[in-house]
């Protein structure tokens, strides 16, 4: 791990000189190249249910959003996506959902077992704050990784924007420690520019990534959703305006770069939220400043628009195949290559081909 003090991190987060920022990005890109190489790993995202019992103040899937039509995939629909992941040559599938009690622990475990039995895919779960015995069951069923962002390390802000389920106080950092103890590769992360989020707390987020020794770190912009208390302005966490972190691309790039510098071998995605606020170039720019993972969407097009965490999400009209082709092209245009296999933490994969478009052609052949 490379050392950076909180003061250094704060200085970079407030930096606005484009020449200095370019230096930061180049440094992060060099660390990325040395420690995880030029491979970009594709994790196929399957949004298996939009039902959620929680009331997170920022998220469009919150239970209180009655305007959203909800869906839950059948086992067959999930397997259609899994088979598409294989066909497209992905190494991992990520099953993500709201906190949906009807996704019972045994039902999920059976699906995980079947994926592990029938394919060579790594399985990542992102199903919210579930009980320890459920997390253990899924790990025993063969799940490799679990994503659970802690959203912000500011405890007071987290308490305001992320109410507990039965009046309890959720502790995502404790859950992440438990996931690591169970042998998962554990992924945390934060949103950037949450109303009430200070530069100090964002600097602390970067230090928390190190303290927790996270295997995967997801960083995306907070995007206001009008059907949520935070997005509509009904909830307005108090903060000195000079301390408020803006929710813009540059802040996200700085955070990705700083995170790469201090957590050299972590897997860091260039997120869909980043691609949403800059549809033309956000995903590529994230890969230029330290990211080494992207998560193409495998969810059936009829469900994508219903998984509305925030408005105007990128890639909701594209099919799984066109997402794959588009991303393959973007990756090659950066002089990088699509990683093969599961791409766990610390894997520095040699290129299997140097010819541009080879991966895109491969996908076309497999169709």
Site residues, ligand SAM (CB under 6 A): 58-59, 61, 96, 98-99, 126, 128, 148-149, 151, 191, 220, 222-223, 225, 273, 309-310
CB atoms within 10 A of CB 20: 12
290 binds, among ligand SAM, ligand SF4, none (CB under 5 to 8 A by kind): none
98 vs 286, which CB is nearer to ligand SF4?
Answer: 98
Shortest Å distance, C-beta 87 to ligand SF4: 28
189 vs 290, which CB is nearer to ligand SAM?
Answer: 189
**Whole-angstrom distance, CA of residue 35 vs CA of residue 37:** 6
Helix spans in the chain (H): 6-14, 18-36, 75-87, 105-118, 132-141, 155-161, 172-181, 199-211, 229-232, 249-262, 272-277, 282-288, 301-304, 320-333, 358-366
Shortest Å distance, C-beta 294 to ligand SAM: 16
58 vs 138, which CB is nearer to ligand SAM?
Answer: 58
Query: Does 98 help bind ligand SF4 (rule: CB under 6 A)?
Result: yes
The secondary structure of the chain in percent helix, strand, coil, rounded to multiples of 5, reads: 40, 15, 45
Q: Which residues of 180-203 are buried (b: 16+ CB within 10 A; e: fewer)?
A: bebebbbbbbbbbbbbbbbbebbb
144 binds, among ligand SAM, ligand SF4, none (CB under 5 to 8 A by kind): none
Question: Strands 145-147 and 185-192, how do they pair?
Answer: parallel
Task: Specify the DSSP element, H or E, that contains 342.
Answer: none
Backbone angles phi, psi at 251, to 5 degrees: -60, -40
Shortest Å distance, C-beta 181 to ligand SF4: 22
Find out whether 254 and 290 touch, Cβ atoms under 8 Å.
no
Shortest Å distance, C-beta 59 to ligand SF4: 3
308 binds, among ligand SF4, ligand SAM, none (CB under 5 to 8 A by kind): none
Q: Which stretch binds ligand SF4 (CB under 6 A): 51-59, 186-194, 265-273, 327-335?
A: 51-59
Shortest Å distance, C-beta 156 to ligand SAM: 18
Binding region for ligand SF4 (CB under 6 A): 52, 54, 56, 59, 61-62, 98-99, 128
């Amino acid at each position: 791990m490379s050392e950076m003090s909180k003061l250094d991190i704060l200085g970079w987060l407030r930096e606005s000189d484009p020449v200095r920022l370019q230096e930061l990005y180049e440094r992060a890109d060099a660390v990325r190249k040395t420690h995880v190489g030029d491979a970009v790993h594709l994790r196929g995202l399957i949004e298996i249910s939009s039902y959620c019992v929680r009331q997170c103040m920022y998220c469009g899937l919150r239970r209180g959003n009655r305007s959203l039509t909800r869906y839950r995939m059948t086992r067959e629909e999930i397997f259609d996506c899994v088979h598409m992941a294989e066909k497209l040559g992905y190494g991992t599938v990520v099953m993500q959902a709201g906190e949906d009690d009807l996704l019972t622990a045994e039902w999920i475990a059976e699906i995980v077992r079947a994926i592990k039995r029938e394919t060579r895919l790594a399985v990542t779960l992102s199903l919210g704050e579930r009980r320890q015995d459920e997390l253990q069951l899924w790990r025993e069923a063969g799940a490799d990784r679990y994503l659970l962002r802690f959203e912000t390390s500011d405890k007071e802000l987290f308490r305001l924007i992320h109410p507990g389920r039965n009046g309890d106080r959720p502790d995502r950092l404790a859950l992440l420690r438990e996931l690591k103890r169970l042998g998962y590769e554990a992924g945390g992360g934060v949103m950037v520019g949450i109303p009430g989020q200070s530069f100090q707390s964002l600097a602390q987020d970067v230090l928390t990534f190190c303290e927790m020794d996270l295997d995967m770190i997801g960083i995306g912009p907070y995007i206001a959703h009008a059907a949520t208390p935070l997005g509509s302005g009904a909830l307005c966490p108090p903060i000195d305006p000079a301390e408020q972190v803006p929710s813009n691309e540059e802040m996200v790039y700085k955070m990705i770069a700083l995170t790469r510098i201090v957590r050299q071998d972590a897997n860091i995605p260039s997120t869909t939220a980043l691609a949403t606020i800059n549809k033309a170039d956000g995903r590529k720019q994230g890969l230029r400043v330290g990211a080494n993972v992207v998560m193409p969407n495998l969810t059936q097009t009829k469900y994508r628009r219903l998984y509305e965490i925030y408005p105007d999400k990128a890639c909701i009209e594209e099919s799984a195949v066109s997402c794959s082709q588009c991303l393959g092209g973007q990756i090659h245009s950066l002089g990088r290559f699509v990683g093969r296999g599961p791409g766990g933490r610390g894997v520095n994969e040699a290129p299997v081909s140097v010819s541009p478009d080879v991966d895109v052609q491969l996908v076309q052949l497999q169709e």
